Amino acid sequence: MRTGLIAEKIGMSSMFDEKGKRYTLTFLKVEHCQVVGQKTLKKDGYNALLLGVKNIKLSKVSKPMKQVFANVKIEPKAKLREFRISDGCFLDVGTALEVDHFSPNQFVDVTGTSIGKGFAGSMKRHNFRGLEASHGVSVSHRSHGSTGGRQDPGKVFKNKKMAGHMGSVRVTIQNLKIVATDKEKGVIMVSGNIPGSKGSYVYINDAIKKTAMAQ
């Protein structure tokens, strides 16, 4: 298991194949991605690499983090992220990672934070059908209806599907195919939708449920 990459979602588009089928594309930018630190099984209890992406001004980081970057002689980074790795996949601190870390036609898993939708009702949040449009139903057409029993169990169970805050949660989309990479511009083109708004950071890993390369 090797390290992944931190990327910034910069936009979306689409493409058509020879048969006229349309595919959604998401563009991810990898900028100044470097190994900032290491975690070892002997010292920390697990193996991992700490990656940083996108150089920022020294004045933009806290005093403790200034010392962290100074110790490893690396420019301050806008985003840091740990990636679990296997024993034989360590990289030296300061190693730069670029888009060619992944190959075209490779399958990857991408993790991001979905766009927040605020407070939403049960029909929008959980795709409930709502109540009847007539036959005695008044005012409550878009409500979720009953939420539990009477004296037994006498409560609403946890994780009951109800109205509430929608979006702004961690989401992983698996088995997305890399269409192409542009090393000069630092861009990865991925087939499919990726959670998060434009400008948000996502984390790309090798797919765990598919082979590394398409058949």
What does the pLDDT look like over 176-196, one tens digit per residue? 999 999 988 999 999 999 999
Task: Name the pLDDT band for 8 (thresholds 50, 70, 90).
Answer: very high
**Residue 199 has which token pair?**
């400008």
Task: Name the pLDDT band for 27 (thresholds 50, 70, 90).
Answer: very high
Q: Which fold has domain 9-29+102-116+177-215?
A: Elongation Factor Tu (Ef-tu); domain 3 (2.40.30)
Mean pLDDT for 161-168 is 94
CA distances from 48 to 72, 107, 198 (A): 16, 22, 28
What does the pLDDT look like over 136-155, one tens digit per residue? 888 889 999 888 878 888 88
First and final C-alpha spacing in the chain = 20
CB 109 within 8 A of CB 115: no
Percent of the residues in the chain that have a pLDDT greater than 70, as a whole number: 98
Mean residue pLDDT across the chain? 89
Whether 214 has a pLDDT exceeding 50, the answer reads: no
Q: Which amino acid appears at position 207 of this protein?
A: A
Total number of residues shown for the chain: 215
List of residues 6+ apart from 27 with CB closer than 8 A? 9, 10, 11, 12, 13, 187, 188, 189, 190
**Residue 49 has which token pair?**
């690499």
Q: How many Cβ atoms are within 10 Å of 20's Cβ, its own excluded?
A: 6
Q: Which amino acid appears at position 122 of this protein?
A: S
pTM (2 d.p.): 0.83
What does the pLDDT look like over 106-119, one tens digit per residue? 999 999 999 999 99
Q: What is the pLDDT of residue 154?
A: 86
Q: How many Cβ atoms are within 10 Å of 52's Cβ, its own excluded?
A: 24
Instruction: Write down the CATH number for the domain with range 31-97.
Output: 3.30.160.810
Task: Name the pLDDT band for 215 (thresholds 50, 70, 90).
Answer: very low
- Alpha-carbon distance of 161 to 144, in angstroms, equals 9
Q: What is the pLDDT of residue 89?
A: 86
Mean pLDDT for 188-212 is 89
Whether 213 has a pLDDT exceeding 70, the answer reads: no
List the domain boundaries for the chain: 9-29+102-116+177-215, 31-97, 117-148+158-166
- Alpha-carbon distance of 70 to 106, in angstroms, equals 36
Beta strands in the chain (DSSP E): 5-16, 22-29, 33-39, 48-55, 77-84, 96-97, 107-113, 118-120, 164-166, 170-182, 187-191, 201-206
Mean pLDDT for 70-76 is 88
**Residue 126 has which token pair?**
């959980």
Q: What is the pLDDT of residue 211?
A: 61
